[in-house]
């Protein structure tokens, strides 16, 4: 069971009236959890929610000892997408601001030094799937639907989903999702590499995600951060060299020689 201990953007706690969707942050030792929730059970990503999400990511980044970040939702869906009502009367200039804000927030999520997991409890559509794609891993309930329906609205994805999806599942499969605007099931998503694991229910998802995060405890947190950077910039050598500038590699090598677990594994 997740315990929400703070609401982003409201130092006194409670709900934020400026948006129907709220972003909560909980940090429990090495695991941080960002939860999107709304009274209707259908989360959307308005400009206000993107700012809350940015604040939440900053809070997690500044915390000490966080090794994993879970992005989850409470309600019927993961995230239904961008805020259609907000976009309805956008000028091109307003669309650029909205697109660039979303790009920046999702880039920050993608660049988090800890590894990140999207726990997809229901539909992840449009901006919701783009949010999940910015995470390192995606675990979904088998009834979840995932898709990018923007072309059915005369739009295109604007928050990095085009590039991330084609890198993940290949250009042809990505184009099929973009051009058709049709969702895929979680099971089909697993088959094409869009989803990493599927579970039977939301209850199973709540149990599986912490166990999944614990499966990475062998990796040194600084080494994981550097490996993530190397994935992004392709500079393996610089990441390797930087490992030798800190204490983590000394501990890891000493533990290997002594045939004991490294301290971060305990």
Annotated catalytic residues are: 130, 150
CA 266 to chain centre: 26
Contacting residues for 19 by C-beta, under 8 A, at least 6 apart: 46, 48, 49, 52
Return the beta strands (E) in 39-158 as ranges: 44-45, 68-74, 81-82, 115-120, 124-125, 137-141, 145-147
Q: What SS3 state is found at 198? A: strand
Q: How far is Cα 150 from Cα 10, in angstroms, rounded to an integer?
A: 32
Bridge-based pairing state of the strands 184-185 and 145-147? antiparallel
The answer to whether 95 and 58 have CB atoms below 8 angstroms apart is: no
The answer to whether 29 and 65 have CB atoms below 8 angstroms apart is: yes
């Amino acid at each position: 069971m997740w315990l929400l201990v703070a609401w982003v953007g409201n130092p006194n706690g409670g709900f934020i009236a400026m948006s129907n969707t709220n972003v909560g942050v909980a940090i429990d030792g090495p695991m941080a959890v960002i939860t999107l929730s709304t009274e209707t059970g259908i989360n959307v990503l308005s400009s206000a929610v993107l700012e809350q999400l940015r604040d939440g990511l900053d809070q997690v980044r500044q915390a000490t000892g966080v090794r994993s970040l879970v992005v989850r939702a409470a309600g019927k869906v993961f995230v239904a997408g961008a805020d259609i009502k907000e976009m309805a009367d956008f000028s091109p200039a307003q669309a650029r601001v909205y697109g660039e804000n979303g790009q920046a927030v999702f880039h920050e999520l993608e660049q988090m030094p800890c590894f990140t997991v999207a726990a997809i409890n229901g539909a992840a559509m449009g901006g919701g799937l783009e949010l999940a794609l910015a995470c390192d891993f995606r675990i979904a309930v088998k009834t979840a639907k995932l898709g990018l329906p923007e072309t059915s609205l005369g739009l295109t994805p604007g928050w990095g989903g085009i590039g991330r999806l084609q890198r993940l599942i290949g250009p042809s499969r990505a184009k099929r999702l973009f051009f058709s605007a049709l969702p895929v099931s979680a099971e089909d998503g697993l088959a094409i590499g869009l989803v990493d694991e599927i579970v039977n229910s939301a209850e199973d998802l709540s149990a599986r995600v912490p166990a999944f995060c614990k499966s990475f405890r062998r990796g040194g947190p600084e080494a994981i951060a550097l490996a993530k950077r190397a994935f992004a910039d392709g500079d393996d050598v610089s990441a390797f060299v930087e490992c030798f500038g800190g204490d983590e590699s000394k501990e890891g090598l000493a533990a290997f020689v002594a045939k004991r677990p490294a301290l971060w594994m305990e």
